[in-house]
């Protein structure tokens, strides 16, 4: 805030200097100044010649004078400009009701027209409207440069001594209003200000709050010393500092971070965010802060950013704490570390890296962010990728995936992949590119639809199942070759045929050998050495589209269309669990032969696959409107699918799945899904048996399917007329240009989620309903029903708004989660109340503070809740 408090004073001296130091007596009318009155030029021509050398050396651009009336005191060399007087120099303009230029004293004075001249202008001895005239009519001094403007009651400047003053100056900058009763410029860099005032309240008179400094000294682009600084609410002083010292340099610069003080019932007095910001260079910066709590301990945070446009960006962030996380005498150490790096190498290569490392349960007990509390895994990875054109690419990856609950992890150190994209095998060649030419499908010969793609990958994997388990290591490589025949219409033109064959070869540095122990149990050991898997599969499919159009001409409905998309496919895969392939080992255990996978599932499932899949997609569409403005609407989509495995020994027919999806309006959508089994359920055995339903009552008995599962989802969004609902606010602009492209690593992971309420909408609500009926076991059917209310808000009055989020279990008739938000607009202040009555993060937060972002730390707040015992930075921890 202090940086903006004296913007008006810096602004005044900085922009008035170029004009006044150059506004000497015009020596050459064409090259130095343009006077829009020939009488002024001729009257002062003699005097001007005496100062030609001095004036011509100061001015580097024309100066334009303009006024409704001019008076010239030739004896004293004074020029008076009356009525909409204006002086222009480069991009700067000074306007006033009256401008006086004393050429001998090198003095310029800008002030409003006196009442006597206003009366004279209106042609009366006394103007009854003089006291009620607006400032624009009086001509109060107005200085502008580009989009910056400043007004005052009087402006004076001596362009010989480079000193001046502004009486009751006023300006606006970045949503703030600035005022000074008197500003004196003593040299080009130093200003003295009396009674400086700053506020973001837009009330011209009696703002709701303001800051005032009685005496201030400003050294431009260096610092400000003020004493005392008083904070007023209305006209009541509520806080005072005997003096203040702060920098005024613009842009990024190093400096201390002012801490916040307070007290907590659970942690005592605290000092938060005491730190230092270090602007290392244009490409690097760093920030470190410390929170200290009298009873519980301390928390240290650090953040390092670096960036170079069009080259790389990155961030490193971490925290370390030693605090009481539970009510006990023991203090535990907790920490977290995150990083992110993005770098481009030309147009075809890129390096992306990101990672999160944290001690156990750090976010669960210490963060106030719900998403962070629920996150039980962390992932770190780095990937280098390179594309070579012609659909060829290479990538190298290292990753670490860890479960915070049981300590299990999986690490790839490293993993490589090389991909050759799909390309034609046959066809005419482009001599320049030495690749097959791309022709339209209908212009190709059938053999030109043969394609091939190849990919190769290798990895070195380390894994652990739990904290107590040993670490397993596995090195492997695989090569995939895919041959396909796409889009052929060999039989009939309306039928589209596709075929493909996939060949996979996997290499490993070990495999598992199984053996029978003396007690007839199965043991295993690792057989290190080269081992290979060779797998292959074949698939073919045929599909087409059938159209049916109806033209009912019912009101605005012009036509209805039904599009049927049937598809039939066949896939084949051998039984790689057969011992003949060598991928499974067969042992006789307790008189029964069993097969054991020697490659930990890499060979796929057991059994041969020779299946046919069938699906039918139905799309229903409607056309409405006049012929010249027809509008096509997709009403709903109905899909059925199943498959039959000819090679399976039992349960050859898979379940029939069906789905219905509709999006009739922008605000409403629904989706229904169902699964039916073709097989009967044996109540006595308590399982599905290998007996088709129709066999019980015969083919014409009417029973073919059994419902096993049904689900329904629907969503509805409503809002009153007003602004666009559910539109997040624009992100705040960063002061540092280089930080615009930084990865989202340095964000505060311990802070709560941001809340946004669009108060321009009188009311809004989003409902989602999810129902599920499970009847896999007809003896024990189960039903779940959950209703979620999102973004529900109601603007009670112009200034009051209430918002609610809730999840309800309709089956149990209970509330799963609920959150309430009450907001009160207090002009330049805002009151917010957040309440979570149930759950792990239950608590409340009350805040009364100034709206302006630069003054967000000026607030009154109260917090409470069970999470307050877990740390000082918790959202509800201070109350």
**What are the tens digits of pLDDT across the range 41-76?**
343 434 433 343 344 445 566 778 888 888 888 888
Helix (H), strand (E), coil (C) string for 251-262: CCCCEEECCEEE
Taking residues 422-433, report their average pLDDT. Answer: 65
**What are the tens digits of pLDDT across the range 85-128?**
888 877 778 889 899 988 888 888 999 988 766 655 555 544 44
pLDDT band at 753 (very low <50, low <70, confident <90, very high): low
**What are the tens digits of pLDDT across the range 251-268?**
778 888 878 777 766 677
Long-range CB pairs of 134-141, under 8 A, 24+ apart, other chains included: 138/97, 138/112, 138/113, 139/83, 139/84, 139/85, 139/95, 139/96, 139/97, 139/98, 139/112, 139/113, 140/96, 140/97, 140/112, 141/94, 141/95, 141/96, 141/110, 141/111, 141/112
Q: Which two three-digit tokens encode residue 161?
A: 């001594």
Highest mean pLDDT among 33-47, 383-397, 483-497: 383-397
> In this predicted structure, which of 217-226, 237-246, 605-614, 776-785 has the lowest mean pLDDT?
217-226
Backbone phi, then psi, for 786, in 5-degree steps?
-135, 130
Highest mean pLDDT among 362-366, 548-552, 652-656: 652-656
Measured CA to CA, the distance from residue 421 to residue 482 in angstroms comes to 10
Q: Which is more confident, 800 or 26? A: 800
Mean pLDDT estimate for the chain? 77
The CA-based angle 353-354-355, given to 5 degrees, is: 135
Are the beta carbons of 551 and 529 closer than 8 angstroms?
no
DSSP 638-690: EEEEEEEETT-SS--BPPEEEEEEE--SSSEEEEEEEEEESEEEETTTTEEEE
Highest mean pLDDT among 480-484, 557-561, 702-706, 770-774: 770-774
Say if residue 228 is preceded by a cis peptide, omega within 30 of 0: yes
**What 3-state class would DSSP assign to 4?**
helix
Helix (H) or strand (E) holding 58: helix 52-58
Are the beta carbons of 382 and 398 closer than 8 angstroms?
yes
b/e for 845-873, b at 16 or more Cβ within 10 A?
bbebbbebeebeebeeeebbbebbbbbbb
| Cβ partners under 8 Å of residue 702, min gap 6 | none
Q: Which two three-digit tokens encode residue 42?
A: 């001729």
Q: Which two three-digit tokens encode residue 704?
A: 């073919």
Q: Which of 797, 852, 851, 800 is nearest to 821 (CA)?
A: 800
Long-range CB pairs of 636-640, under 8 A, 24+ apart, other chains included: 636/660, 636/661, 636/662, 636/664, 637/661, 637/662, 639/615, 640/615, 640/616
Task: Tally DSSP H helices, then E strands, for the chain.
Answer: 10, 51
Burial of 876 (0-12, 13-18, 19+ CB in 10 A): buried
Burial of 801 (0-12, 13-18, 19+ CB in 10 A): buried
Measured CA to CA, the distance from residue 102 to residue 159 in angstroms comes to 10
What per-residue confidence (pLDDT) applies to 299? 86
């Amino acid at each position: 805030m202090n940086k903006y408090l004296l913007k008006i004073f810096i602004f005044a001296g900085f922009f008035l200097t170029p004009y006044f130091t150059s506004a000497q007596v015009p020596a050459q009318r064409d090259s130095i100044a343009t006077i829009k009155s020939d009488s002024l030029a001729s009257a002062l021509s003699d005097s001007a010649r005496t100062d030609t050398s001095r004036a011509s050396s100061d001015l580097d651009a024309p100066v334009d004078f303009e006024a409704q009336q001019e008076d010239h005191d030739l004896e004293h060399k004074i020029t008076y400009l009356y009525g909409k007087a204006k002086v222009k120099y480069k991009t700067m303009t000074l306007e006033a009701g009256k401008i006086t230029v004393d050429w001998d004293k090198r003095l310029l004075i800008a002030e409003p027209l006196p009442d006597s001249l206003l009366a004279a202008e209106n042609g009366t001895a006394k103007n009854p409207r003089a006291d009620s005239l607006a400032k624009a009519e009086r001509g109060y001094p107005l200085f502008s440069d580009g989009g910056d403007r400043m007004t005052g009651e009087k402006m004076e400047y001596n362009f010989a001594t480079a000193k001046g003053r502004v009486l009751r100056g006023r300006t606006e900058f970045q949503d703030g209003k600035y005022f000074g009763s008197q500003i004196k410029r003593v040299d080009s860099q130093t200003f003295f200000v009396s009674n400086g005032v700053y506020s973001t309240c837009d009330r011209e008179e009696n703002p709701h709050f303001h800051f005032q400094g009685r005496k201030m000294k400003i050294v431009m682009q260096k610092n400000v010393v003020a004493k005392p600084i008083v904070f007023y609410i209305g006209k009541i002083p509520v806080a005072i500092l005997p003096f203040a010292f702060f920098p005024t340099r613009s842009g990024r610069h190093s400096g201390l971070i002012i801490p916040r003080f307070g007290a907590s019932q659970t942690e005592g007095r605290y000092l938060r965010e005491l730190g230092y910001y270090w602007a290392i260079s244009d490409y690097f910066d760093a920030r470190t802060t410390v929170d200290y709590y009298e009873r519980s301990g301390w928390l240290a945070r650090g953040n390092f950013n670096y960036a170079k446009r069009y080259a790389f960006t990155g961030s490193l962030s971490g925290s370390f704490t030693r605090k009481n996380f539970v009510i006990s005498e023991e203090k535990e150490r907790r920490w977290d570390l995150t990083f992110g790096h993005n770098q481009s190498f030309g147009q075809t290569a890129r390096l992306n890296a990101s990672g999160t490392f944290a001690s156990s349960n750090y976010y669960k007990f210490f963060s106030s962010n719900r998403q962070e509390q629920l996150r039980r895994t962390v992932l770190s990875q780095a990937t280098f990728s390179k594309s070579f054109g012609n659909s060829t690419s290479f990538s190298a990856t290292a990753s670490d995936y860890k479960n915070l609950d049981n300590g299990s992890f999986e690490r790839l150190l490293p993993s490589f992949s090389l991909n050759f994209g799909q390309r034609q095998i046959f066809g005419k060649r482009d001599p320049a590119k030495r690749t097959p030419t791309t022709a339209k499908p209908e212009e190709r010969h059938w053999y030109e639809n043969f394609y091939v793609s190849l990919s190769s990958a290798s990895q070195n994997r380390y894994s652990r199942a739990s904290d107590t388990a040993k670490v397993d290591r596995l090195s492997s490589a695989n090569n995939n070759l895919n041959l396909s025949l796409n889009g052929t219409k060999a039989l009939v033109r309306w039928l589209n045929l596709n075929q493909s064959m996939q060949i996979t070869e996997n290499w490993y540095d070990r495999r598992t050998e199984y053996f029978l122990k003396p007690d007839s149990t199965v043991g295993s050991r690792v057989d290190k050495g080269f081992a290979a898997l060779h797998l292959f599969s074949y698939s073919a499919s045929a599909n087409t589209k059938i159209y049916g159009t109806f033209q009912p001409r019912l009101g605005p409905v012009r036509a209805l269309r039904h599009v049927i998309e049937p598809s039939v496919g066949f896939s084949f895969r051998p039984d790689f669990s057969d011992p003949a392939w060598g991928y499974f080992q067969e042992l006789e255990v307790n008189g029964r032969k069993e097969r054991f996978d020697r490659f930990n599932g890499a060979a796929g499932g057991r059994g041969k696959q020779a299946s046919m899949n069938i699906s039918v997609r139905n799309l229903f569409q409607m056309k409405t409107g006049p012929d010249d403005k027809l509008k096509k609407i997709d009403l709903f989509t109905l899909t059925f699918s199943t498959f039959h495995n000819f090679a399976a020994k039992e349960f050859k027919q898979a379940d029939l799945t069906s789905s219905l999806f509709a999006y009739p309006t922008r605000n409403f959508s629904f989706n229904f899904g169902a699964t039916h089994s073709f097989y009967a359920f044996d109540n006595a055995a308590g399982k599905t048996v290998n007996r088709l339903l129709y066999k019980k009552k015969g083919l014409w008995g009417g029973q073919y399917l059994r419902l096993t599962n049904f689900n329904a989802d629907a969503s509805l969004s409503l809002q009153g007329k007003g602004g666009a609902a559910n539109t997040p606010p624009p992100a705040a602009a960063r002061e540092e240009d280089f930080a615009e492209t930084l990865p989202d690593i340095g964000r505060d992971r311990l802070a709560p989620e941001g809340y946004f309420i669009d108060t321009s909408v009188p009311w809004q609500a989003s409902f989602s309903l999810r129902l599920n009926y499970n009847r896999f076991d007809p003896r024990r059917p189960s039903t779940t029903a959950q209703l979620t209310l999102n973004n529900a808000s109601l603007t009670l009055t112009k200034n009051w708004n209430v918002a609610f989020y809730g999840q309800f279990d309709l089956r149990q008739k209970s509330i799963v989660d609920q959150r309430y938000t009450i907001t009160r607009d207090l002009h330049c202040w805002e009151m917010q109340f957040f309440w979570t009555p149930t759950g792990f993060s239950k608590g409340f937060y009350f805040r009364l503070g100034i709206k302006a972002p630069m003054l967000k730390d000026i607030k009154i707040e109260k917090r409470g809740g069970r999470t307050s015992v877990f740390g000082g930075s918790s959202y509800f921890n201070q109350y």
